[in-house]
Amino acid sequence: MLTIGQKAPDFTLFNTARKEVSLHDFQGKNLIILFFPMAFTSVCTAELCEMRDNISVYADLNAAVVGISVDSPFTLAKFKEDQQLPFDLLSDFNKEVSQAYDSYYKTFVMNLKGVSKRSAFVIDQNGVVQYAEVLESAGDIPSFQAIQETLKRL
């Protein structure tokens, strides 16, 4: 399990515009990483729209946001467009980053194999984990208040 003070695992994933996005692209900025199980599901939509509706709060705290799921870049592109999300959604189709961040269900609902667990991480400007919340229940949402409090301390 990732712990606070640990270096965040590096990653390079494709966004919805089919461009590579890496952890090191955010050097000098705080980064919120939200892993979510599946695009177009009710809880995932509510979570990401909550982030969308408060994006200025995070921008004021020098934080960028990315959402990561095992959905394809094409599915994520439609989801991003439909929900008007102002941040990148990244496809972990190969499931490597979800596993590196200990945010991975081997078996999910309906016997689906290899789905991202809902989780939230705050990575500081130097690539160090400052907040980590991995939820066992996909029906739960991360603590946005705790994320904001962590960012205020950075």
Position of tokens 């177009």?
Answer: 40
Task: Write the DSSP symbol of residue 42.
Answer: H
- Which domain, by its residues, includes 94? 12-21+28-153
Whole-angstrom distance between the N-terminal and C-terminal Cα of the chain?
22
What letter would DSSP give residue 72?
Answer: -
Whether 5 maps to a domain, the answer reads no
**Residue 1 falls inside a structural domain:** no
Judge whether 7 lies within some domain: no
Segments of the chain with pLDDT less than 50 = none
88, two tokens: 């990148």
CATH of the domain at 147: 3.40.30.10
All residues at 6 or more sequence positions from 19 whose CB lies less than 8 Å from its CB, including other chains: none
Is there a contact between 54 and 76 (Cβ–Cβ < 8 Å)?
no
pLDDT digits (tens, 9 = 90+) for 52-91: 999 999 999 999 999 999 999 999 999 999 999 999 999 9
pTM of the model: 0.96
Residue 6 within any structural domain of the chain:
no
**Domain assignment present for 2:** no
Q: How many domains does the chain have?
A: 1
- How many beta carbons lie within 10 A of that of residue 81, not counting itself? 10
Q: What is the pLDDT of residue 109?
A: 85
Residue 76 has which token pair?
Answer: 């994520």
Residues with active-site annotation: 44
Is there a domain that residue 82 lies in?
yes
Looking at residue 21, its pLDDT comes to 98
Residue 135: the pLDDT is 96
Q: Supply the pLDDT for residue 87.
A: 98
* Residue 108 maps to a domain: yes
